[in-house]
Chain A
Amino acid sequence: MNTHHSGVSRLDLYLAAGMRPSKDLAARLQRAGVPQPILASVSAAAKEAGLGDPTKLTRDMVVRFFAPGDEEESDRVVYRSNLWPEHRYEWHISEWGHASHGGFRLLEPAELPTWLPRELGAVSEAVRPWFHTANDVAEVMGEPDLDLSWGPAWGWYYGPLDDGTDLVFDFDFGLLREVRAEKSAVKEHRAGGQSE
């Protein structure tokens, strides 16, 4: 693992810089002794290295910037994490050589039911923010009815439920930060005549 600051890898710092603020992230950074300013400098360096242009990002650029992966296969580069020690981080490599975020994955299989009802209570009891990942959610809930992700912030919507809400799974780079119910965007989307 390529350590960069206080034993934290450059990839971890880059991911932390791209996440929305949260108590969980602040606590992890504090425990690791990472000052906030270092995140901005890593983010700027990543941009300088071309990581901000998804159309030009390649495996070589990822490896050059973050160091060789702990596992490398034809379709992915995988890094262990010390800021998120229960997880690994995957970069997806397309058959054309483009690199893109694959997101956080648990190192060990998630302890989740094989199926959950679309109810906030049941889901909230089963999934754990800052632990379970988009991959885990997809295995239990299936693909979302509506995906309103933008960059590192992934928003998956399941609905509409009987009460007119959606179950919304909110992720940072595929790491679950919150599950909530809110007025159905899926319904609005379908009413607009659009199909996913």
Chain B
Amino acid sequence: MTQTSTTPKHPLAIRWFHWLNFPILSLMIWSGMIIYWANDAYFQFPEWFYEKAHLSFRLAEGMSYHFMLMWLFAVNGILYVSYTLISGEWRELIPGRDALSQAFQVVLHDLGIRKEPLPPAKFNAAQQIAYTGVVLMGLGSLLSGLAIYRPIQLSFLTALFGGYSNARFIHFLLTIGYVGFFGMHIVQVIRAGWANFQAMVTGHE
């Protein structure tokens, strides 16, 4: 930590969007779980889990939290995407034509099978796919969320997701997807080491 790190990596705006999204999305998942408890149609978490996590019998609260935080989640996401578009940061983030095969090389590398170093880039192909994918998931959550929030007045959206029940199921699946993303993200951040993590706080690596 004593070395002077001066290579700029993440702009201030990106760091704010990232770190705001973390508590907001966590609280969205938490309040979503409170809502899900009232009709746990797709997967039944064990009773002790609902109780230990204080998720039971709080539907009204859960809906209230969810319908408050949805604004922050949406606005933060829209600002993030707009920023990447305007700043040109999107060029680093959108997967290129060979992204899939390159991402496969990244997986081989991360598993220690491929020994040669990866080509230098701000984000490797696997990261590009993950970070672009999770933003598309966010869009999916926003739209499927609206589809179950106002299923009659926004019936075109509800129809797009295959009806009310399907839209609710997709909304749930996307949440499971975030949990998966989060798990992999933490593993990779630990593997990448301190300087990489520091860059998301200070902006410099």
Decide whether A and B assemble into one complex.
Answer: no
**Which residues of B does A touch, CB under 8 Å?**
none
**Which residues of A does B touch, CB under 8 Å?**
none
